[in-house]
Amino acid sequence: MMRLPPFRYIAARTLEEAVATKAKYGAQAMYVAGGTDLYPKMKRRQFEPQVLIGLRGIPELRALSNHGEDGGLTIGAGLTLAEVAEHPQIVQRYPAVARAAALVSSPQLRNAGTIGGNLCVDTRCTYYDQSYAWRRALGFCMKKDGDTCWVALSSPRCLAVSSSDCAPVVIALEGRVRLLGPEGERVVPAEALYRNDGMHYLEKSPDELLVDIRLPQREGWRAVYCKLRRRGTIDFPILGVAVALRTDVQGVCRGARIVLGAVASRPLPVPQAAETLIGHTITPELAQEAARIAFKAARPLDNTDMALSYRKKITLTYVQRAILQAASRHP
């Protein structure tokens, strides 16, 4: 049985206290809210913090409010995935966000895991997400304790895969995130939070805390999220497709965003596929044309579940399906 290593737990009461505590302990400390990804990784010795800074008691992280500048919605990063999936405002105004949250893992883990945690969830790989003994027998990998990427031996960077369900949708909706660190606060587009590197996959310092997600008013837009996984619950995505469309009263597409998940080390926007739709009435043939462009951009690797060739081909089906669902006036 894998057990947690010893650690000290400090429950922060305010954002400022959490950030100050992280600055005090530096690399020895990590933030924790739900811990549904962190604790298993600590058991496998992938993360080895000596101090955990608890965030569950910070009221601001659990707030949900309208923001005045554009009539959008601010979602506290500490809201659980179950709360996001069921909150009436989110369900009504941003159903794709609620849907993505509802598709994460199992009911028990959604009751503990947070939307902020899902946006920042660690990248995954067959050669990395194993017990310490398994990884040691292999010789470890460059993501932790080694210097080789076992997915592609000549790769100069880690190829672990982004596995967030909520990130593609938030990016497709052009959301922003607020970060707070020792050097102050900054608000960045959600797309800018990620980099295509399996080890250093977030464009934020470890000292920065994700405070909230800011979704702009999306009047006239319709978004959907489709997820592929082996089982209907528990499993991480092996393909995620987020599509957001804006159509006029004649059904002509006036705006489009397509983002793929679980095919790279970051959520992957496909602007060329989205541009194919703009200015046209969306038909199955047009959706298929956009899906072909997304298919070319998707380069899944043999480091997650199911056969690589199947995961590549199914991109065509899922992108076309998501586009047609987003274009439909009757969900």
Higher model confidence: residue 70 or residue 153?
A: 153
Does pLDDT of 154 surpass 90? yes
Mean pLDDT within 262-274: 98
Mean pLDDT within 164-185: 98
pLDDT for 70 equals 77
Mean pLDDT score of the chain: 96
pLDDT for 1 equals 67
- Considering only 15-24, 63-72, 125-134, which range has the smallest mean pLDDT? 63-72
Higher model confidence: residue 249 or residue 84?
A: 84
pLDDT for 318 equals 98
pLDDT for 71 equals 86
What is the SS3 assignment for the chain?
A: CCCCCCCEEEECCCHHHHHHHHHHHHHHEEEECCCCCHHHHHHCCCCCCCEEEECCCCHHHHCEEEECCCCEEEEECCCEHHHHHHCHHHHHHCHHHHHHHHCCCCHHHHCCCEHHHHHCCCCECCCCCCCHHHHHHHCCECCEECCCCCCCCCCCCCCCECCCCHHHHHHHCCCEEEEEECCEEEEEEHHHHECCCCCCCECCCCCCEEEEEEECCCCCEEEEEEEECCCCCCCCCCEEEEEEEEECCCCEEEEEEEEEECCCCCCEECHHHHHHHCCCECCHHHHHHHHHHHHHHCCCCCCCCCCHHHHHHHHHHHHHHHHHHHHCCCC
Q: Where are the domains of the chain?
A: 59-120+161-215, 221-327
Band (149; pLDDT cuts 50, 70, 90): very high
pLDDT for 67 equals 81
Mean pLDDT within 239-268: 97
Does pLDDT of 331 surpass 90? no
Does domain 59-120+161-215 fall under CATH 2.40.50.140? My reply is no
Architecture in CATH of 221-327 = 2-Layer Sandwich (3.30)
- Considering only 66-70, 98-102, 143-147, 222-226, which range has the smallest mean pLDDT? 66-70
pLDDT for 32 equals 98
Does pLDDT of 215 surpass 90? yes
pLDDT for 69 equals 67
pLDDT for 329 equals 64
pTM of the prediction? 0.97
Higher model confidence: residue 269 or residue 249?
A: 269
Mean pLDDT within 33-52: 97
Percent of the chain with pLDDT over 70: 98
The pLDDT tens digits for 45-98 are: 999 999 999 999 999 999 999 986 678 999 999 999 999 999 999 999 999 999
- Considering only 68-72, 269-273, 324-328, which range has the smallest mean pLDDT? 68-72
Does pLDDT of 300 surpass 80? yes
